[in-house]
Amino acid sequence: MGDMPSAAVTQFFQKRIANPVMRHIPTQTLLETVGRKSGEPRRTPLGGKRIDKQFWFVSEFGEQSQYMRNIAANPRVRVRLRGRWHSGTAHLVPDDDPHARLRELPQFNSFGVRTFGTNLLTVRVDLDS
């Protein structure tokens, strides 16, 4: 791993260490997409904020993230907020200022996204309920 660029190191750490642990924390917000190749549910821990019937978050690696590729193939997702699942439809919002959006979202996750993110992209999930 000595020659890996920082984005690759961050992605490795998230995929192999942080995400598997965080998925098991009952209060952790999760985004569930459908794997575009496997058709299986894929759960990704992330931070964001529910505003009325929408859930907003910022992808730190933009459309290069696996979950973003899954959204492109099938925008129907589920979001676990405070232990409860909500179905919805995800929309990429490239015209939204992701840095301004991060200032409105929970600061702990926003710090990580700002620090390690290389291609920030705002996402809005329109929740069914």
- Per-residue pLDDT reduced to its tens digit, 11-57: 554 555 555 545 545 568 999 999 999 999 999 988 899 999 999 99
Side-chain half-sphere of 93: how many Cα atoms within 13 Å?
19
pLDDT at res. 60: 85
The DSSP 8-state label assigned to residue 68 in this structure reads H
User: 56-79: per-residue pLDDT in tens?
Assistant: 999 988 888 899 999 999 999 999
| Higher-scoring residue by pLDDT: 9, 93 | 93
pLDDT at res. 1: 44
pLDDT at res. 129: 80
Task: Tell me how far apart the alpha carbons of residues 59 and 121 are, in angstroms, rounded to a whole number.
Answer: 5
User: 28-38: per-residue pLDDT in tens?
Assistant: 899 999 999 99
Structure tokens at 105: 């979202």
CATH architecture of 6-127: Roll (2.30)
Q: Is the pLDDT of residue 2 over 50?
A: no
Side-chain half-sphere of 66: how many Cα atoms within 13 Å?
17
